[in-house]
Chains A and B, each alone.
Chain A
């Protein structure tokens, strides 16, 4: 279970770091807890024929989907680690760096999708690059993106999204 613990710890750390400037508490939760959620699910979600790491239906919703499997694959590429046999894949579960990279990717994608619960287009448009504001940020093989999503680069919102977050989260929240 060490691999699971490492992934979850890295994911939570990445998500917390994404919101460290703001009045936001980030924690693991269960369905329908907290104000907003990123739900980690199994497989690849197709969006216009392209597999995506995460999805959010509309601005204003409180749940997003983060697809586990694609992060598992992309983290392998980002490091990079080449696996040839099924035994290699099994052994990879004890690769601490890979497990942390998978978790970091999931946490960063979760931050991105939580952003879309507040902003789609204005405040957070998906054609920007180089931060986890970026459209293809989860895929380290795509031009304009990079392996930063898996723990190799600076974690920062682009200015326009940082500002949008600041305005949306200002004053905290209370009910």
Chain B
């Protein structure tokens, strides 16, 4: 789960990590009030969407007086911001962060995330901030300093010192950075984050270290014990169909193709998308109906898949283990009858009670195309999508 920059900064402040003063706003009027309240001449108007690259897309601008705040916030609120992370359709800007400007002397990068290979969290800082970290990692890896954190001990102060030395900091700025790194780890750990990133972390002209940006990812599996974080979720940032699918306990991801698919199990669902592509088609979605596919789940799955108007044919691919194929077949027949589907449906059922399922489909009288094996299923659904 992701949160907005301003929410991340609230978490930073709560953990004692310095950030510029800033106020989130939803309207031009609120933006002007925020400007008055901040009482600094220059402010930054920052579009709040869950995607990086906002600056390049025109979502981060300086305002030098009240009038410019008005112009910029009018311009940004409601605009569609397209960045390299939003996809071509962009995201509508509904919230802004009005923030006091900072006098930047140096820009750094700091982040904590899980190192899957080492099975430990890794803390990394870079001398080069405000730019793409992947670029720094590939071109000038010597500018990046890393330290791995023992999960049983937590972060040690020598590790914070190593990072601060790596940024060539001295005197009070060195001490501040050490303290910020310790707090950053505490913030990461106590919120069950899977990523916390400050880019840039700056040294200002008064020699103070400040988090100028914030980016968080949280472990969705830990939200049950992170009520405060869960409450920060902004559903308007997510695909409405994916949100609806989540309400039915279905795992759905929309893609750009025209062959809808409904599968049990994440691995088989991915493999189904892949084999549709190999058969010359394009998958319209990833949909894992989970381990308990019932008639109701199948019906809801159809609703979600068919709300995407690109879909020209649907493939149901179920390998019944615990899931009983006859139940899925009944669900498919019921859904086709009730929803009055006008796209062809190909069904491949294997495993528990597959033969009974086949009989149900054949006897139902509804137009379902049965398939045997994944290759046959993929070829049938792709040709059905082309034909309809």
State whether these chains interact.
no
Q: Which residues of B come within 8 Å of A, CB atoms?
A: none
